[in-house]
Amino acid sequence: MSHETHFEARSQVQQEYYRNENAAKMRKQVTQFAIMILLTFIAFASVVADFSPNFIKPFVLLLAGIQVVQQLYSFMHMDDKNGHHIGVVSFFMWGGGFIAFTFFLCFLTIIWW
């Protein structure tokens, strides 16, 4: 039994296309990462600036929620349209998030009132 490896030679145009496409993806990921670092810095700065706890808690939670959505779409490749059944996966993830947020809101309401 021989293990044959299939090798497909690319033309110069194809090679240049793939190089440009990968460079654009890398630029996008670096930009997304820089935005996440900036959001983290803003959260730390708001705590260090000694704002009111009534402002800091919701603000930091808002920034954390933004980062979760950003990580799902950029680093978990949910923005790729090439994947199979990406709509189903996205539907169930957002549905689960909505249900979790609803339970959180209900329990928060029961505890505080």
Residues 51 and 70 reside in one and the same domain: yes
Q: How many domains does the chain have?
A: 2
State pLDDT tens for residues 29-79: 899 899 999 999 999 999 999 888 888 988 998 999 899 888 877 777 666
**Residue type for position 92:** F
Q: Which residues form the domain of 100? A: 83-113
Residue 86: is its pLDDT beyond 70?
Answer: no
Same-domain status, 56 and 109: no
pTM of full prediction above 0.75: no
Determine the Cα–Cα distance for residues 36 and 15; give it in Å rounded to an integer: 32
Q: How far is CA 39 from CA 44, 56, 61, 63, in A?
A: 9, 14, 11, 6
